[in-house]
Structure 1
Amino acid sequence: MTKRKASQLETTEPEGASSGPRRSARQKRSALEETAPRDHVVNATTQKAPKKSGRSKAVDPGHPTNSEDEKTRAVTKEPNKKPKPKAAKAQNSSTTATKSNGTTNSSEKSFWLMKAEPGSRFENGTDVKFSIDDLASRTEPEPWDGIRNYMARNNLRAMKKGELAFFYHSNCKDPGIVGTMEIVHEHSPDLSAHDPKAPYYDASSKPEDPKWSVVHVKFRSKFAKPIGLRELREMGKPGQPLEDMQLLKQSRLSVSRVSPAEWDYLMSVANERGGEAE
C-alpha cells in the first residue's frame, strides 16, 4: 500500500463527519464564553498542567548535582594557590646585649677580672706573692693556678683563647685594677692541687678525676694610675655604670665576669688617667 504523506493524514476527515465549514478554536472559545458564567471562564493560556504523581528521582549522593558540578568545575579551573609565607619574626638588632648580672651571650666575646696578691703571704711554706710586674717579667705564658672556689673555677673553664681580663691587686694596702692580660691557653687540670708541697694542695682532688682547673695568661698592659676599690664602689652605686658588676656583688670571688659595657667604661677611665704606664 502506498504510504500517504503526513499532510494528507492531517487534512482528511473520517467518514460521517460534517462537511460544513469547521470553526476555528478562537470561534469555539468565543461561543463558550458567551454561554458560560464569567466567574467560570477558563483561561487556557494560564491553566497549569497537573503535577505528575509519584516521588521524584532521588539524588545519588555519590554524584553531585548540576550546581555542585558547576562549583567543582569552577574550583578545578582555578590554579593551585600556594599558601602565603608567614611573616618572619623581627630580629633583635642589638649584637652586644648584656644581661643584668653582667654575663654576655655565648656567641659574644667575654671579659674577666682576676685577683692576685702583690704582697708576701705564705701558704704551706710557700710565698704566694704575685703582682702585675711579676706577670710582665714572664717570658712564657703564666699558669693561673691555686683557684679553690667552684664559681671561680667555673669562670676559668668558661674562658676562651684571646679573651681579655683585668689584673686586680687584692689583699693589699691599695686594692684595685692595675692592668690587663690575655688568655692564651684555655683551661686544663690544675696539677698543683695534687702536689702535697704546693700552697693550695687538695687531697680530695685525684689525678684521674681532677676537681680544679688552670688557664694560662700573658701580660698586656699596666695602667699609669690604678682604679682603686673605693672608686669602683662609687661607680657601682645604683644608677652608676658598675652597679651590676660581679666584683662588687661578690667581693670575695677571685675570678669574676666583666660585661662588655663595664670593660669599655673602665678602659675609658684608665685612658683618661694616662692610659698605660711607660
Structure 2
Amino acid sequence: MAYWLMKSEPDELSIEGLKTLGQARWDGVRNYQARNFMRLMQPGDRFFFYHSSCPEPGIAGIARIVSAPYPDPTALDPTSHYHDPKASPEKNPWLAVDVACEQVFPRILGLGLLKQQAALAEMALVKKGSRLSVMEVTAQEWKAVTALL
C-alpha cells in the first residue's frame, strides 16, 4: 500500500462532502508530474485529503483510493472547467481515480503546524515552491502526521 497527499479546494470537494457522497471521482489534475503519481495509485492506497485555496488550508482527513486510474472524462467535456481541447477519446493523457472517505479529522492540521515538525522537513508539501496537487507521502511522514491528531 502506498500513501499520498491530494489537494482539493473545499468549495469543489471537501472531506465532509466526500463523507456525505460516500464515493467520488477525483479528476481535473492537469499537471504531468501529479498525473504520473496518479498512474501509480492502486485500490486500497490511502491519502491525506488536503484543503487548499481556502481560509484554513491543511490536512482535513484521510481517504482511500477505490479504483484503478482511468481516463479523466472531464478532459473530453467541453462544458467542464477541466476540458482539454487537445485530448481525444483515443488520446486522453489525463487520469482520474475514485475515492472514498475514511476519516474526517476533528481539526485541520494546518500547513504552519506541519512545517514545524522536524519529521516532516523533507515532505514535498512543506518544501518551498511545492505546488503539486498530488504527491507521494512516505510511511514515516504518514506516521508523523497521524501522530499530530
Q: Distance in 1 between matches of 2:20 and 2:105?
A: 16
**Equivalence for 1:273:** none
Name stretches of at least 5 consecutive residues in structure 2 with no aligned partner: none
Q: Distance in 2 between matches of 1:254 and 1:203?
A: 21
**Equivalence for 2:6:** 114
Q: Aligned Cα RMSD in Å?
A: 1.0
**Counterpart of 1:185 in 2: which secondary structure?**
coil
User: What TM-score does the superposition give when structure 2 sets the normalisation length?
Assistant: 0.95
Q: Distance in 2 between matches of 1:173 and 1:131?
A: 13
Q: Distance in 1 between matches of 2:56 and 2:143?
A: 23
User: Is residue 67 of structure 2 the alignment partner of residue 201 of structure 1?
Assistant: no
Deviation sequence 1:197-248 (CA, Å, 0-9, x none): 011100011110111000110010011121101111122xxxx101110112
More strand, by proportion: 2
Q: Percent identity?
A: 41
User: Is residue 138 of structure 2 the alignment partner of residue 263 of structure 1?
Assistant: no
**Counterpart of 2:113 in 1: which secondary structure?**
helix
TM-superposed CA distance for 1:251, in Å, is 2.4
User: Is residue 125 of structure 2 the alignment partner of residue 243 of structure 1?
Assistant: no
Q: Distance in 2 between matches of 1:193 and 1:199?
A: 9
**Equivalence for 1:168:** 50
Q: Distance in 2 between matches of 1:248 and 1:156?
A: 20
**Counterpart of 2:69 in 1: which secondary structure?**
strand
Q: Distance in 2 between matches of 1:173 and 1:230?
A: 13
User: Is residue 20 of structure 2 the alignment partner of residue 137 of structure 1?
Assistant: yes
Name stretches of at least 5 consecutive residues in structure 1 with no aligned partner: 1-108, 120-128, 271-278
**Equivalence for 2:92:** 210
**Counterpart of 1:133 in 2: which secondary structure?**
helix
User: What TM-score does the superposition give when structure 1 sets the normalisation length?
Assistant: 0.52
Q: Distance in 1 between matches of 2:24 and 2:73?
A: 14
Correspondences of 1:1-278 after superposition (within 5 Å): 109-119=1-11, 129-139=12-22, 141-235=23-117, 240-249=118-127, 250-270=129-149
Q: Distance in 2 between matches of 1:267 and 1:171?
A: 22
Q: Which protein is bigger by CA-based radius of gyration?
A: 1
Q: Distance in 1 between matches of 2:10 and 2:133?
A: 14
Q: Distance in 2 between matches of 1:188 and 1:118?
A: 23
- Superposed structure 1 runs of 4+ greater than 4 Å apart: none
Number of aligned residue pairs: give it. Answer: 148
